[in-house]
Amino acid sequence: MYSDLDWNLARTFLAIAQEGSLSGASRKLGLSQPTIARHLAALESSLGVELFIRSQRGLVATEEALELLPLAEILGATATAFARKGSGPSGEVRGTVRISASEIISVEHLPPILARLRRNYPHLAVELIASNAVADLLRRDADIAVRNTNPEQEALIAKRLPGVKLGLHAHRDYLERTGTPAELTDLSNFDVIGFDTATPALRSIGNTNPAFERSSFALRTDNNLVQLAAIRAGFGIGVCQVALASRDPSLVRVLANQFDWDLDLWVVMHEDLRANAKCRAVFDALVDGLRGQ
């Protein structure tokens, strides 16, 4: 019975679990809601278990469903990787490559690199996951990832690039209104833009400088794009990539000698894709493009 189980039922199960409703799964998969309901009923009948319970918040997964969910996620990732693998012959730069990168890199660094890729390889399509979450390349969440952390899995090919330097910046108009801090301790008199979630790195800085404690931030957000937008809008002083800020003459670096962070930068892909022409082309383009920025 289980060997004949329709894979489409597992895909529907995964969509319902991710979206929390039949209507959400319907939109995600492009199927009608009655079809989604039939798939769920067929799967529950085949397995002999109830997978979801209706509540005011939508469909809630049962314990049996929660046990099946990791397996369904693996099936989904494998199916996606299978489709990408088959989207073009391995010797040709055509088909689809899926990239994962942080929001700030995706928005501020990758567009010109991807534009050049498209001009050079017009039959290549790119799927970009703009997220600060680390994609699992072993489970094929993505083909290639741009990371700020050293990859530890042995089955990955990784290229380390020059580190990303971070510094404190503010809009020139803001500093004209408030003056410029001379010491880190002066930041308590300024509007500091910081993170909402206290990471270990942030806590270590806060231990030595109260201005970097979460309670001292005038604006708290974990979204780096929002932080950058707030700096550009003249809200206050915040952390920004030095190279990125240098593109905008209205942004001024402050306390350069007292605040200087370096982030690692890696381009990573699964070793199984080493001989895949489209993935190799994208990997090399990312390495060359990010190294030159």
Q: What is the pLDDT of residue 219?
A: 95
Q: What is the pLDDT of residue 171?
A: 98
Which residues of the chain register pLDDT less than 70?
1-5, 80-91, 135-140, 153-154, 199-211
Q: What is the pLDDT of residue 1?
A: 45
Phi, psi of 62 (to 5 degrees): -80, 175
- The answer to whether the beta carbons of residues 210 and 216 sit under 8 Å apart is yes
In the chain, domain spans: 2-79, 95-159+264-291, 164-262
Q: If one looks up domain 164-262 in CATH, what number appears? A: 3.40.190.10
Q: What is the pLDDT of residue 85?
A: 59
Two domains, one topology: 2-79 and 164-262: no
For 176, other C-beta atoms within 10 Å of its C-beta total: 12
Which CATH class name applies to 2-79?
mainly alpha
Residue 59 exposed, middle or buried by CB count within 10 Å (0-12, 13-18, 19+)? buried
Q: What is the pLDDT of residue 157?
A: 83
Q: What is the pLDDT of residue 200?
A: 60
With pLDDT > 70 as the criterion, what percentage of the chain qualifies?
86
CATH T-level assignment (fold) for domain 95-159+264-291: D-Maltodextrin-Binding Protein; domain 2 (3.40.190)
Q: What is the pLDDT of residue 264?
A: 87
Q: What is the pLDDT of residue 8?
A: 84
Question: Both tokens of residue 16?
Answer: 């319902």
The CA dihedral of 153, 157, 273, 79, to the nearest 10 degrees, is: 30
| Look-up of token digits 């002999």 | 48
- The answer to whether the beta carbons of residues 203 and 135 sit under 8 Å apart is no
Phi, psi of 149 (to 5 degrees): -125, 150
d(CA 284, CA 265): 14
